[in-house]
């Protein structure tokens, strides 16, 4: 899931600025947002997933000419603190917390809100204020495109018009109506969540963000989306679309500028407290329709005046990719040491790249000074190189040299962290494909030896 908005205010603080936690107040809040705007979840996709962008246009469209002299566009500081107080008598407005100095917050909210009222897509979950219907839409839209959700959403709600209907239905029935959406664990979690909501919350999505985020498959992001849309709670949502818009608006530089905490702080600072649901949906819709991944349509963008990446002509360069560390190459030795019964020596916890798996000893060197306990070292003269194989673990590019040798550990139990296992028993341990590759090298070396190579 995309970085989740956890909100920047406590439940107490939210209650202090208007608690819309009842259906009545939710409807009242919705009414303030204008016709048809009560429940308008936008797409919640990671780039290229749930809500696909419209057909791509070549290049970033030319930006609308600004009506005032262009300020020098600078990347936003990664410091979350607002700018220092303006000197006494200064006309310069203070930056809201989390935003750059002199940011026209009111102008951005106004432009975004007007654009959303004109340009938003007419989608079935935008025609309801039913928390259950919004909840279902949010879960369906996780990692699934709007086009795939549309044919299944209403059929699902017809079959399960409320949480109780889903909770009492057999799981197979729920999964059948989920078919085509994939990620079936979402349907199972939704059904479990529906049962919990019936048992603990009177059949309604809980209004407390912490309680809501504990429901199976919900989490802080989905909780913020549902609570802002349904109950008007001032909780900013940061999904993949919103993260992209923020990265461009403020020219955020990774890693600190694009950290989840920084993105949440910026989204929360932009959030319109009078219409948080509409604002969240507008930001997501902007990312889905205009500020699309490869070729942002800056010429159609309602917030172009505020956008630092657009001003610097680098809109398509953001979000910046994290610098990829150079691969680390090495040639470790892997020791296939067998005792007289053919059992293989394995160890766990020693090799730092895979400390939790049972593997043959991996060392810098195959020589006797391997750090193995003396009784687990290969019989002198038995060690021979069998071949090699390549393997990659994250940025580590490993060229293993496989050495086979004999082991005579003597009687008594092995030191902690070591095992001697026969071939059959190897199937029963959690093991890396490194072991399989090494055994293939051993078999191939044996075949060549028998063939007289």
Q: Which residues bind ligand SF4 (CB under 6 A)?
A: 245, 248-249, 290-291, 296-298, 301, 303-304, 307, 309-310, 315
For residues 279 and 113, what is the distance between their CA atoms, to the nearest angstrom? 7
User: Phi/psi at 347 (nearest 5 deg)?
Assistant: -135, 160
Distance of closest approach, residue 204 Cβ to ligand SF4, in angstroms = 36
CA dihedral 228, 230, 232, 238 (to 10 degrees): 10
Told to judge if 138 belongs to the known catalytic residues of this protein, a careful annotator would answer: yes
CB of 240 to ligand SF4, least distance (A): 14
Of 44, 291, 5, 41, nearest to 144 (Cα)?
A: 44
> Per the structure block, which two tokens stand in for 23?
């259906």
Q: Which of 6, 40, 46, 138 is catalytic?
A: 138
Closest CA to 6 of 281, 250, 293, 219: 219
Longest Cα separation, the chain: 94
Nearest alpha-carbon partner for 307 in 117, 83, 92, 64: 64
User: Which residue, 316 or 421, has its beta carbon nearer to ligand SF4?
Assistant: 316
d(CA 142, CA 187): 11
- Could you write out the DSSP letters of every residue in 111-152? HHHHHHHHH----GGGB---HHHHHHHHHHHTTS-HHHHHHH
Catalytic residue list: 138
């Amino acid at each position: 899931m995309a970085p989740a908005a956890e909100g920047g205010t406590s439940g107490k603080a939210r209650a202090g600025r208007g608690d819309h936690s009842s259906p009545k107040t939710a409807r009242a809040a919705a009414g303030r947002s204008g016709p048809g705007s009560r429940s308008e979840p936008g797409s919640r996709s990671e780039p290229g997933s749930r809500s696909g962008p419209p057909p791509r246009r070549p290049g970033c469209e030319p930006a609308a000419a600004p009506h005032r002299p262009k300020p020098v566009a600078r990347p936003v500081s990664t410091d979350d603190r607002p700018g220092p107080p303006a000197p006494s008598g200064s006309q310069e407005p203070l930056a809201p917390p989390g935003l750059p100095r002199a940011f026209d917050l009111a102008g951005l909210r106004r432009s975004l809100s007007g654009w959303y009222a004109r340009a938003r897509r007419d989608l079935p979950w935008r025609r309801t204020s039913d928390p259950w219907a919004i909840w279902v839409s949010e879960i369906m839209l996780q990692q699934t495109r709007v086009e795939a959700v549309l044919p299944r959403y209403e059929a699902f709600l017809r079959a399960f018009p409320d949480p109780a209907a889903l909770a009492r239905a057999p799981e197979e029935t729920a999964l059948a109506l989920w078919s085509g959406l994939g990620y079936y664990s979402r349907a199972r979690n939704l059904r479990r969540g529906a049962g919990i909501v019936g048992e603990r919350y009177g059949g309604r999505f809980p209004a407390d963000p912490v309680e809501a985020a504990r429901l199976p498959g919900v989490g802080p992001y989905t909780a913020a989306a549902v609570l802002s849309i349904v109950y008007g709670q001032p909780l900013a949502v940061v999904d993949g679309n919103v993260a992209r818009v923020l990265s461009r608006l403020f020219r955020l530089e990774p890693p600190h500028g694009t950290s989840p905490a920084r993105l949440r702080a910026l989204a929360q600072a932009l959030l319109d407290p009078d219409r948080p649901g509409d604002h969240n949906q507008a930001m997501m819709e902007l990312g889905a329709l205009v500020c699309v991944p490869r070729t942002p349509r800056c010429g159609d963008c309602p917030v172009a005046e505020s956008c630092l990446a657009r001003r610097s002509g680098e809109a398509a360069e953001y979000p910046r990719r994290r610098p990829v560390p150079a691969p680390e190459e090495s040639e470790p030795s892997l020791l296939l040491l067998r005792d007289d019964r053919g059992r293989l020596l394995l160890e766990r916890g020693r090799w730092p790249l895979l400390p939790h798996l049972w593997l043959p000893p991996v060392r810098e060197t195959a020589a006797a000074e391997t750090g193995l306990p003396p009784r687990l070292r290969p019989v002198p003269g038995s060690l021979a190189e069998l071949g090699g194989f390549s393997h990659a673990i994250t940025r580590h590019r490993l060229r293993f040299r496989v050495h086979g040798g004999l082991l005579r550990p003597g009687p008594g139990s092995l030191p902690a962290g070591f095992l001697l296992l026969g071939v059959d028993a190897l199937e029963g341990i959690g093991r890396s494909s490194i072991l399989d590759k090494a055994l293939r090298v051993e078999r191939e070396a044996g075949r060549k030896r028998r063939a007289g190579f």
